[in-house]
């Protein structure tokens, strides 16, 4: 019988930033409550059931083509998984409304970790979703956020978004993402090109990788410089961007779905790391706390990123900000930083110290523990 | 020695690899003493023992029951039961944005 459960409508583990996040947040929960139940999405080679010490991992593997139906089926499935633990469950930690609904029905305390809001993110993937449908999803979010005993958000932008959805301000807690410092002597990846600029992450349109490719096309005169894209998605998913890169004649090296441990070495040996997020509703209204930026800082690599409120929160003065969606501006910033390697190194070092002083995963877990303390005290 | 073929690990997954003592009668994979579950099954088959039928059919039944139960629980018919065919049509697989752009699966809803 478990005292704690963590539910996520996400595949876990995976190469994405969300999986890194789940790993640390769930670890804090399970350490505190002596194990627990982890309900996540399965698929691929992932086993449907695992027991790791006191932690039980169950994965939703049903094939339900329609996304809304799948979300509903996940909720129902999760409710069944939680049912045997109803009497002992003290706390449920969720990341989305699909996990929050079954968690609410158990009567346990609910910690809702709002990293994203489906009513804002869904239209990117599902452009045919009608405003009335999104309004219903928003209503669902509002219900879950208002019922939660605590809401955890990774940035101030998303804090405002959840407050707009009726979450009580004194129940909303800021727990920024983090990154673990990369050892200074991490070996250079054997296949790394001479000098390279790196992008790490997924390839959704809001990431702005197309802007980066266009910027890089303007750096064609730097013949010793390569762009490395460490994509968290498969080569098939990267096809349109690969075609764009070919058309622009960019010197590029694609690395797909590298294990998380390998990405640190790629980051540490890069000249620069770029986070070219676009100025769309996903980044401006919903907000995020990009793990790629945190991890670049932890690796001591200077970051060039879009000048957005979410990025200012993370990067502050420890990186170079450029106007979003402007390839020429981005290219200029990269060129200038490459011209001044000492300033670039200094920027990276300051960023690394900033992370070490307050934004490692250990710090994030301590902040989360503080939230659990408050939830338990009420 | 036949190594145990049960997947283990929290974030980094691998095969258990300990000496197997039995084969799972359901899926045939080699299982060590630590992973042997009730009835001599591997942990996955043991967990799935009570679940059968076509997955989509099961999901449909679960959806129906769940909607009804949730609606009763909240004392109203909002939330899942309020999604009608019009709402759902936008989330059929063919209705997604450029499929190539999607993440590791179109279930990637909230990517931090």
Same structural domain, A119 and A224 = no
Same structural domain, B44 and B63 = no
Residue in B closest to A289 by C-alpha: B112
CA distance A319 to A348: 8
Same structural domain, A221 and A233 = yes
Pick the most confident of A75-79, A221-225, B14-18, B80-84: A221-225
CA distance A244 to A208: 13
Same structural domain, A240 and A146 = no
- For residue B1, pLDDT over 70 is answered with yes
Q: Considering only the beta carbons, identify the residue of A75, A98, A237 that sits closest to B102.
A: A237
Same structural domain, B22 and B44 = yes
ipTM confidence score: 0.79
Neighboring chain A residues of B106 at a CB cutoff of 8 Å: 67, 125
Same structural domain, B64 and B82 = yes
- For residue B73, pLDDT over 70 is answered with no
Same structural domain, B44 and B73 = no
Q: Considering only the beta carbons, identify the residue of A48, A66, A96 that sits closest to B47.
A: A48
Neighboring chain B residues of A205 at a CB cutoff of 8 Å: 97, 101
Neighboring chain B residues of A239 at a CB cutoff of 8 Å: 100
Q: A17-21, A166-170, A238-242, A339-343: which has the minimum mean pLDDT?
A: A17-21
The minimum CA-CA distance between A165 and chain B, rounded to whole Å, is: 16
Inform me whether the C-beta atom of residue B7 falls under 8 Å from chain A C-beta atoms: yes
The structural domain count of chain B equals 2
- For residue B14, pLDDT over 50 is answered with yes
Q: What is the pLDDT of residue B39?
A: 79
Same structural domain, A205 and A127 = no
Tell me if A115 is assigned to some domain: yes
Tell me if A187 is assigned to some domain: no
Tell me if A96 is assigned to some domain: yes
Tell me if B102 is assigned to some domain: no
The minimum CA-CA distance between B89 and chain A, rounded to whole Å, is: 8
Tell me if A185 is assigned to some domain: no
Q: What is the pLDDT of residue B101?
A: 40
Same structural domain, A104 and A210 = no
Same structural domain, A353 and A364 = no
Question: What are the tens digits of pLDDT across the range A143-186?
Answer: 999 999 999 999 999 999 999 999 999 999 999 999 999 988 89
Contact (Cβ atoms closer than 8 angstroms) between residue A334 and residue A218: no
Same structural domain, A167 and A277 = no
Question: What are the tens digits of pLDDT across the range A59-102?
Answer: 998 888 888 888 888 988 899 899 999 999 999 999 999 999 99
Higher pLDDT, A3 or B76: A3
Question: What are the tens digits of pLDDT across the range B91-111?
Answer: 888 787 764 444 444 444 434
Instruction: Please give the share of chain B, as a percent, with pLDDT higher than 70.
Output: 58
Tell me if A184 is assigned to some domain: no
DSSP structure class, residue B33 = T
Tell me if A230 is assigned to some domain: yes
List the one residue out of A181, A156, A159 whose CA is nearest residue A168.
A159
Q: What is the mean pLDDT of chain A?
A: 93
Q: How many CB atoms lie within 10 A of CB B102?
A: 19
Helix (H, G, I), strand (E, B) or coil at A334: helix
Question: What are the tens digits of pLDDT across the range A228-239?
Answer: 999 988 898 899
Interchain proximity A19–B11, CB inside 8 Å: yes
Same structural domain, B44 and B11 = yes
Q: What is the pLDDT of residue B69?
A: 59
H or E stretch covering A138: helix A131-147
Tell me if B13 is assigned to some domain: yes
Same structural domain, B42 and B62 = no
Write out the residue range of the structural domain in which residue B34 sits.
7-48
* Pairs from A20-26 (Cβ < 8 Å, separation ≥ 24): A20/A260, A20/A291, A21/A115, A21/A177, A21/A291, A21/B112, A22/A95, A23/B10, A23/B11, A24/A178, A24/A361, A24/A364, A24/A365, A25/A93, A25/A113, A25/A364, A25/A365, A25/A368, A26/A93
Neighbouring residues of A190: CB distance < 8 A, sequence distance ≥ 6:
none
Inform me whether the C-beta atom of residue B52 falls under 8 Å from chain A C-beta atoms: no
As to burial, measured by CB atoms within 10 angstroms (0-12 exposed, 13-18 middle, 19+ buried), residue A23 is: middle
Residue in A closest to B58 by C-alpha: A62
Among left, alpha and beta (phi > 0; psi -120 to 50; other), residue A361 is alpha
Tell me if B14 is assigned to some domain: yes
Same structural domain, A92 and A215 = no
CA distance A197 to A184: 19
Write out the residue range of the structural domain in which residue A329 sits.
195-357
- What is the rounded average pLDDT of the residues B3-14? 89
Same structural domain, A111 and A17 = yes
Among left, alpha and beta (phi > 0; psi -120 to 50; other), residue A248 is alpha
Q: What is the pLDDT of residue A342?
A: 95
Same structural domain, A78 and A223 = no
CA distance A6 to A93: 5
The structural domain count of chain A equals 2
Tell me if B42 is assigned to some domain: yes
- What is the rounded average pLDDT of the residues A259-276? 94
Same structural domain, A199 and A174 = no
Q: Rounded to whole angstroms, what are the CA distances from A180 to A19, A107, A144, A186, A296?
A: 15, 35, 32, 13, 10
Tell me if B112 is assigned to some domain: no
| Confidence bin at A366 (pLDDT 50/70/90) | very high
- For residue B78, pLDDT over 70 is answered with no
- For residue A137, pLDDT over 70 is answered with yes
| Confidence bin at B61 (pLDDT 50/70/90) | low
- What is the rounded average pLDDT of the residues A98-116? 93
| Domain CATH number, residue A109 | 3.40.50.2000
Q: Considering only the beta carbons, identify the residue of A14, A52, A71 that sits closest to B104.
A: A14
Q: How many CB atoms lie within 10 A of CB A34?
A: 12
- What is the rounded average pLDDT of the residues A115-138? 91
Tell me if B101 is assigned to some domain: no
Same structural domain, B44 and B59 = no
CA distance A272 to A345: 9
- What is the rounded average pLDDT of the residues A219-228? 96
- For residue A344, pLDDT over 70 is answered with yes
Q: Considering only the beta carbons, identify the residue of A45, A121, A239 that sits closest to B109.
A: A121
Question: What are the tens digits of pLDDT across the range A295-317?
Answer: 999 999 999 999 999 999 999 99
Tell me if B86 is assigned to some domain: yes
CA distance A173 to A152: 5
Same structural domain, A131 and A267 = no
As to burial, measured by CB atoms within 10 angstroms (0-12 exposed, 13-18 middle, 19+ buried), residue B38 is: exposed
| Confidence bin at B72 (pLDDT 50/70/90) | very low
pTM of the entire predicted model: 0.83
Tell me if B32 is assigned to some domain: yes
């Amino acid at each position: 019988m478990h005292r704690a459960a963590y539910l996520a409508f996400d595949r876990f583990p995976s190469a994405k930033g969300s999986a890194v996040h789940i790993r640390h947040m769930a670890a804090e929960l399970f350490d505190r409550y002596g194990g627990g139940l982890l309900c996540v999405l399965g698929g691929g080679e992932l086993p449907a059931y695992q027991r790791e010490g006191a932690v039980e991992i169950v994965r939703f593997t049903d094939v339900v083509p329609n996304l809304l139906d799948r979300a509903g089926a996940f909720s129902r499935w999760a409710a069944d998984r939680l049912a045997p633990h109803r009497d002992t469950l003290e706390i449920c930690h969720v990341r989305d409304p699909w996990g929050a609904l079954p968690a609410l029905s158990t009567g346990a305390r609910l910690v809702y970790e709002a990293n994203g809001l489906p009513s804002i993110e869904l239209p990117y993937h599902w452009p045919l979703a009608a405003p009335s449908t999104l309004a219903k999803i928003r209503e669902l979010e509002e219900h879950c956020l208002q019922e939660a005993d605590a809401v955890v958000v990774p940035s101030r932008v998303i804090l405002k978004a959840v407050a707009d959805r009726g979450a009580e301000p004194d129940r909303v807690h800021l727990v920024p993402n983090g990154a673990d410092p990369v050892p200074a002597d991490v070996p250079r990846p054997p296949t790394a090109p001479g000098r390279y600029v790196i992008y790490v992450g997924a390839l959704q349109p809001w990431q702005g990788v197309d802007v980066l490719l266009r910027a890089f096309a303007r750096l064609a005169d730097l013949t010793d410089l390569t762009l490395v894209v460490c994509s968290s998605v498969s080569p098939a998913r990267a096809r349109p961007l690969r075609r764009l890169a070919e058309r622009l004649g960019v010197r590029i090296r694609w690395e797909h779905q590298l294990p998380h441990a390998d990405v640190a070495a790629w980051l540490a040996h890069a000249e620069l790391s770029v986070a070219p997020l676009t100025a769309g509703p996903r980044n401006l209204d919903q907000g995020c706390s990009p793990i790629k930026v945190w991890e670049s800082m932890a690796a001591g690599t200077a970051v060039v990123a879009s000048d957005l409120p979410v990025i200012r929160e993370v990067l502050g003065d420890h990186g170079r900000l450029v106007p979003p969606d402007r390839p020429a501006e981005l290219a200029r910033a990269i060129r200038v930083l490459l011209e001044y390697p000492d300033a670039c190194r200094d920027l990276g070092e300051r960023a690394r110290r900033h992370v070490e002083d307050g934004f490692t995963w250990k710090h994030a877990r301590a902040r989360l523990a503080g939230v659990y303390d408050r939830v338990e005290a009420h | 020695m036949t190594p145990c073929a049960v997947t283990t690990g929290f974030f980094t997954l691998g095969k258990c690899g300990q000496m197997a003592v039995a084969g799972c009668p359901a899926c045939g994979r080699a299982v060590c003493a630590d992973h042997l579950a009730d009835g001599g099954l591997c942990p996955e088959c043991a967990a799935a023992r009570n679940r059968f039928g076509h997955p989509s059919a099961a999901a449909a039944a679960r959806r129906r029951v769940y909607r009804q139960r949730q609606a009763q629980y909240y004392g109203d018919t909002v939330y899942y039961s309020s999604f009608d065919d019009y709402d759902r049509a936008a989330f059929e697989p063919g209705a997604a944005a450029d499929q190539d752009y999607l993440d590791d699966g179109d279930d990637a809803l909230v990517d931090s």
